[in-house]
Structure 1
Amino acid sequence: MAYLEITLRVDPANRPAAASVYEKYKQPFLDSIAGATSKELLIREEDVQVLHGFQSVADANAYLDSPLFTKDVVGELAPLLQADPDVRVYDTV
């Protein structure tokens, strides 16, 4: 099992728009990305995180190179971000 954690700095006024991007692409992510097992939106006062579950680290890294991520998700989120996202991949033991 592996996790991809993407932390986004989004102005509170833009959070509803960011959440709509999450909702729009959650099911396509689960249906079409190899090894995808889960996707959760975590909201904190200082930032927003998207936690993705995968069967392996290789699956997580492949998603980061997929058109769904690079074109669709990043394309819609980019105008809403205050800083570059913090992207981390974790392997479980």
Structure 2
Amino acid sequence: MNYYYYYYYYYYYYYYYYYYYYYYYYYYYYYYYYYYYYYYYYYYYYYYYYYYYYYCYYYYYNYNYYYDYYCYYYFYYYYYYYYNYNYYYYNYYFYYYFYYFHY
């Protein structure tokens, strides 16, 4: 194996780590979203915003010496909320795999 092979798998597992990490907090967020929505005027203030991230890299096939170019399209999600009750401030930071292709 060469550098490109490790490079590919590094970002491959890196992607899946944040992919499941996102979905874990994704359901977590939606669970508490209705909870906050119900108590919105009593305890909480929350805010979120989105933007997109485009990421590409090369993948090298070691056996047939062929280069492939992979592109990942990430949904970059940032969310924070503020507890008025106990003055706590939380940040959540997510990657979301949105689309990818290669050529």
TM-score grouping bracket, smaller chain normalisation: 0.3 to 0.5
TM-score (normalizing by structure 1): 0.35
TM-score (norm 2): 0.33
* Greater fraction helix: 1
Q: Which has the higher contact order (CA 8 A, sep 6+)?
A: 1
More strand per residue: 2
